[in-house]
Structure 1
């Protein structure tokens, strides 16, 4: 080696940023220098594993250097990413914070340089979420995971990555499924062991990541819903709550980067600091900003809770089994769970039962013990009861529930708010299953329409109007109303379980026809476009059966009514075919592909979600047949529907000021307009002009009048001369 080469090597060995810059410009020319640093890294790596505190800084410098130039020498650094990943997973708890941060950042940089794949990166980052105690590092890992998955699915669905990540999330949840259920009530709330706590943290992060990807629209398939559904029966109550809030569509499950509930800023502490510290405008702005955050959180908790995530509820796999598991969990751990937790399970179970029209009959026997007016959160329990009822719910199961509500809520010994809540709850149950009412009990309940309290009167009239429409035979003759009294007495309501008309054709086919009419105006689309759709099972072309053209010659397709008559079939009249002309033409003239059925399911889910989010408050449903009401599955209810109309609460200072400011919009500024319109330059009158128009009694004691009285002769003469000149 010449003297110049030895000098250059000595200089570069001590200056890693310089050799890094030179290698990126000419990788082949500085290969020897890189190999020297690579061998040095291997030696330091062995020493670092034995004594991590001695060579930590040098180890971090070498890791940064090799990660920067790894793409220039892929063959030599093929084991470098696996070494970093294994070191993180094996010794994460014993590494220094700076070393952890360096290793994670360089691993992410290797992914950005396409040295490793997304799956290799995520397999390392997922276990670190539950292990790290550093809030900034945890936030960085979380953002990296979400950004990587979102970027991979930006142009098209990366099904390979999505399935791998979903399998990781399933594994994070299943690792803690075998532990014992502890509960969250009183003395049974215990601190779990380290292994159980780590499994709980992993499950919590699995739910949080799945929810975040669903919220951002990256994932919207049933596998994501299955991940969260598995969290609903996890032994940890914290994981269960996070999963329940996902289906209920509530915002109370927001967690910060440490995995704990974000309670918002402490207003009392900020106000106390404002008193003891020097008063500045910056502190005032900080308090005002914190007040807005707290008010937003309070409003989100008190607002209507009927905004359930119906799109996720629809994608639940085997909803009957899932509902039975929820009820079994509720009934088994009834003594261990707190009331708030049990109410969450009731809400979710009732939403699933109402949406999918399921029958978990034991649920009504369980909920009946909570139907007392002094029960905490009884309005939410009544909402859950009403949401679980549908037209397929057996009336025999609901009769004891109706009697219990009538005995506990509707009698003279309680307040009018309680009576109104009981009547509204019974009305909502009977709206979904009209056969769950007895004629004697109904006659007693409608008598409350004469009450002086507005809420009770409106609730009783609503129940009366409901049965005038669906089953007037249960009412007394004088209470049936004009329309029902004039109807033919031989007409009887449909029995329980009978539909007004049988199903015909394909459900929702008119939605597909409307979609085609909107998107294909003046265009021609290939019939086979989008034939293949993504599915979990791969199908090959060998599954198709080829049909020869000779067999097609025997097939005769004709739409002629004359040929139909010749074949012995009666011809259809124009009145029968007119309402279904469009959908029949679509079903008989077009081959529906799997892509069409996928679009049809999407349109049906959007229609059902839009109908359910509207709620039932303030809407009237007309019966499709006498005595039968088609209830919307999973119709959203709120506590306001149960409480009914009440007196308006007194507005606070902020609400009054907001109302005042709203009334001032579009108006001119307050004040006197005298002299402002008659002058070229608008201005008000002067104080001297105003003083001339004052009443005499207001100015008798003024200094000017007193001064005139005490003025000398010379002063009077001077004033007269001044006025004469003026």
Structure 2
């Protein structure tokens, strides 16, 4: 028995996985063996601490590696069975944390031992030995100090744990702790000196180490925001603090978060590698199909590979257009202070920041100014020096300038900027593209603040619509059309157009600081009502909407003249006078029933000399004539112009109106009362209304509506491209500044797409002459012609002569090539 126990102990000591399995089955029975291994682990841990202090004797590299391997095995073993002995291993997670972070007198382990410690710490979290807070407090500080292989594991672990913890409900305690850690990582380097990225200003003294923690904090916040785990104001505050970090790389990462550049450089490189590898696979399969045996299976695989490669390339191209992160901009705590600090950072470090970094700050500052309508007046005096046509990336600068303008920007500040743009970009000494970009930039500024334009300057810019270049003409006409809508008073009378000339006083732009008047009616509401009428007709089984409307109007006419009907036939109607003999009103359940009856009685006394049937007949006749006029079936005669339109209101009098004026007023009143006042229009209704207006404008152009109809159609199509007026004011692209240009030379992908588009609908490419798939062969190939060529003619050919005069070396090369080709064709 003693011998078997000794053999069992030796076996368990040398075989930790077996002991681990036995402990999980019977923890109490193998507690002594576990304590033996745990004491061994503690002794190795103390030796590691003593060696770090420098008191241990020197040892060889082989002994050190062997000791590290044994220590790693013991750490893994204890992590596997820690849940079986919670009292004995209560200090084990803190010991692992000390090993990873160099705390509690332990050294910071490196290499494979650090990777093992991280994996075992994650295992303890999965076994619920420790909670998420303790795990993340250990892993987050490790991100800047570990290699890329281990960093990817830590990063994925943190993201997965946070996503799982906030899946069902928000874990506010965990979020607060992690956000505090990220705040601390960003604030750790805020006191350092600002290191620029221009020329020799790049940091050689550890700038990467100083900004490493903040960089990884920003990257973690971006990932959590992108996955939808965090979307609150405190998350935005972390990134807004990182915008002012001394390290320019951290600043750029934080600015890209607000600008919407979710795909960082690493992700873009991975996508490019995927596209490149997919293209290589297609070429490899095409080559194998050309040199080897062809078959349906290989052709099918080649088609599938080409399809996958095209999908990846189109996905990459579709992801290039990134929109700004508007929710993050809206969640800024103090936008005015943030914008002022951003401008101070830009102006103060102008000489040490590179142009690319300054443009990033300009873009973010302009977005914040446009979204929150801030007035940072120093920005416009700062940006003037960059408004030259030979400036690098000038289109991005023009976009930033236009986005920063809004209706509360003082016009006096913008007038010098507009004048500078006109002097630098719009003159005969520059190219047509420069002139178009300058006029487009001025148009976008004036669209947001029309009062910054001068009358003489506007007249000069509009004269460019007579240019020979298409882009310049389009830009100048766009500026002219803008001022026809917003402020025609600055234009000459012959340039205002028909619509603006007829209503100059109505379409004037409001003064600075004043808001526009609210619209009284909705343009195109009659089209929407006709559409709903057609839908109701289909739903009613073919019953015309006019008949239904006529019935409704008869009912309305009956309700309009209910007082006359009750006077004519009071016995049958069931209505009785509620007043007594002295004329006093009796009590009523309704508050306004008594006064209403009183008004109706006085009206009846005033109209006793008229006959009720004639009045009722006149009212119905008027309604029927209005319906007939709307349908175009007939017109009201001149003799009926003086019909009494007053029926129910005692404050109105009998007046005579012109037929056209009365018809127009009645139609407008009817539209407002029936649709706008009785139905709440949903966003889907407004989308349908825009589509109906666009369709009506297209039909008007096709039927010969003239230039006015074409301009209206162009305006509707342009407004359809924008999501809304507010977002159009805030978001601007380079293409809107550059305008339409001549077609540039296409790259490889564009040429291949055009070729594939031209091949659509064709079964085979190229000539079908002499092909095997043809029903009747029309010719033979050159190889077939050589077989039937006369011998005496074939002998005189250069091919046969070359074979006769070939050297032995050439014959050997050809023989080997033929054998290699034959060998490949067998597979």
Q: Does TM, normalized by the shorter one, top 0.5?
A: yes
By how many angstroms is 1:293 displaced? 12
What does 1:471-550 correspond to in 2, within 5 Å?
A: 471-487=487-503, 489=505, 492-501=508-517
TM (normalized to structure 1)? 0.72
1:685 correspondence with 2:781: no
Q: Which stretch shifts more, 364-373 or 88-97?
A: 88-97
1:128 maps to which residue?
Answer: 142
Aligned equivalent of 1:655 = 750
Contact kept? 1:48, 1:56, Cα under 8 Å: no
Cα distance 1:293–1:186, how it changes in 2: closer, same or farther (>3 A)? farther
Runs (5+) with no aligned partner, structure 2: 53-63, 280-285, 292-301, 521-588, 597-668, 683-714, 795-827
Partner of 1:107: 121
Residue in structure 1 matched with residue 686 of structure 2 by the alignment: none
Equivalent position SS for 1:180: coil
The alpha-carbon deviation at position 74 of structure 1 amounts to 0.7
Shift of 1:8: 2.6
Choose 150-159 or 575-584, whichever is displaced more.
575-584
Q: Is the 8 A contact 2:375 2:409 kept in 1?
A: yes
1:168 alignment counterpart: 181
- Superposed CA deviations along residues 131-177 of structure 1, whole A, max 9, x for unmatched, are 11x22111111111111111212222222212211111111001111
* Equivalent residues of 2:486, 2:508 under 8 A apart: no
Q: Is the 8 A contact 2:759 2:765 kept in 1?
A: no
Structure showing greater Rg: 2
Q: Is the 2:487–2:507 Cα contact (8 Å) retained in structure 1?
A: no
Question: Given the superposition, is the C-alpha separation of residues 564 and 293 from structure 1 closer, same or farther in structure 2, using an over 3 Å criterion?
Answer: farther
Aligned to 2:10: 10
C-alpha spacing 1:670/1:19, structure 2 compared with 1 (3 Å): closer
Aligned to 2:740: 645
**1:498-532 deviation digits (Å, cap 9, x = unpaired):** 1124899xxxxxxxxxxxxxxxxxxxxxxxxxxxx
Count of residue pairs the alignment pairs up? 585
- Which runs of no fewer than 5 residues in structure 1 stay unpaired? 272-278, 505-558, 567-572, 587-615, 623-628, 692-697, 708-726
Give the equivalent residue in structure 2 for 1:228: 239
Counterpart position of 2:43? 43
Does the residue aligned with 1:192 lie in a helix, a strand or coil? Answer: coil
- Conservation of the 8 A alpha-carbon contact between 1:172 and 1:199: no
- Worse-superposed segment, 136-145 or 660-669: 660-669
TM-score (norm 2): 0.63
Report the CA distance between 1:578 and its aligned residue.
7.9
Match of 1:86 in 2: 98
Does structure 1 residue 64 correspond to structure 2 residue 163? no
Cα drift, residue 373 of structure 1:
0.7
Q: How does 1:353-502 map to 2 (within 5 A)?
A: 353-487=369-503, 489=505, 492-501=508-517
Is the contact between residue 675 and residue 683 of structure 1 (CA under 8 Å) also seen in structure 2?
no
Q: Is the 8 A contact 2:488 2:504 kept in 1?
A: no
Counterpart selection for 1:138 from 132, 136, 151: 151
Distance in 2, Cα, partners of 1:166 & 1:417: 49
Matched, 1:619 2:718: yes
Identify if the C-alpha distance between structure 1 residues 41 and 703 changes in structure 2 by more than 3 Å, giving closer, same or farther: closer
Whether the 8 Å contact between 2:450 and 2:509 is mirrored in structure 1 is: no
**Distance across 2 between alignment mates of 1:489 and 1:94:** 78
Q: Deviation string for 1:82-107 (max 9, x for gaps)?
A: 00101210179853411111111111
Q: Aligned pair in 2 of structure 1 residues 84, 477: CA closer, same or farther (>3 Å)?
A: same
Name the counterpart of 2:257.
246
User: CA, structure 1 residues 73+291, in 2 after alignment: closer, same or farther (shift >3 Å)?
Assistant: same
| Range with bigger deviation, 95-104 or 664-673 | 664-673
Please give the secondary structure, in 2, of the residue aligned with 1:81. Answer: helix
Q: Which residue does 2:23 correspond to in 1?
A: 23
Q: Does 1 or 2 have the higher relative contact order (CA < 8 Å, sep 6+)?
A: 1
Structure 1 residue 453: Cα displacement: 0.7
- Corresponding residue of 2:762: 667
Match of 1:339 in 2: 355
1:2, distance to aligned residue in structure 2 (A): 5.4
- Distance change >3 Å, CA 197–CA 418, structure 1 → 2: closer
Q: Aligned equivalents of 2:718 and 2:506: distance in 1?
A: 30
Shift of 1:648: 0.8
Deviates more, 1:99-108 or 1:481-490: 481-490
Preserved contact between residue 392 and residue 497 of structure 1 (Cα < 8 Å): yes
Report the 3-state secondary structure (helix = DSSP H, G, I; strand = E; otherwise coil) of the residue aligned with 1:51.
helix
Residues 441 and 190 of structure 1: CA distance in aligned 2, closer, same or farther (over 3 Å): same
Structure 1 CA distance, aligned partners of 2:170 and 2:516?
43
- Separation in 2 of the partners of 1:641 and 1:617? 17
Q: Confirm or deny: 8 A CA contact 2:271 2:316 kept in the other structure.
A: no
Mapped to 1, the partners of 2:362 and 2:158 lie a distance apart of 34
Q: Distance in 2 between matches of 1:105 and 1:631?
A: 50
The CA RMSD measured in Å over matched residues stands at: 4.4
**Within 2, Cα distance between the matches of 1:477 and 1:380?**
36
| Per-residue deviation, 1:346 | 0.5
- Contact in 1 for aligned 2:27/2:84 (Cα 8 Å): yes
Q: Kindly indicate whether the alpha-carbon contact (under 8 Å) linking 1:350 and 1:387 is maintained by their aligned counterparts in 2.
A: yes
Equivalent-residue separation in structure 2 for 1:389 and 1:503 (angstroms) = 24
**Structure-to-structure mapping, 1:549-588, within 5 angstroms:** 562=592, 579=676
- The reply to whether residue 219 of structure 1 matches residue 314 of structure 2 is no
Counterparts of 1:402 and 1:63, CA distance in 2: 70
The equivalent position to 1:157 in structure 2, one of 154, 167, 170, is 170
Shift of 1:116: 0.6
More helix by share: 2
CA distance in 1 between counterparts of 2:27 and 2:318 reads: 58
Secondary structure of the corresponding residue to residue 619 of structure 1: helix
Distance change in 2, residues 1:484/1:343 (3 Å): same
The 1-side partners of 2:272 and 2:97 are apart by 36
**Distance change (3 Å), C-alpha of 1:561 and 1:152:** farther
Three-state SS of the structure 1 residue aligned to 2:128 is coil
Evaluate the alpha carbon distance shift between residue 490 and residue 314 of structure 1 in structure 2; reply closer, same or farther with a 3 A threshold.
Answer: closer
Moved more, 176-185 or 148-157: 148-157
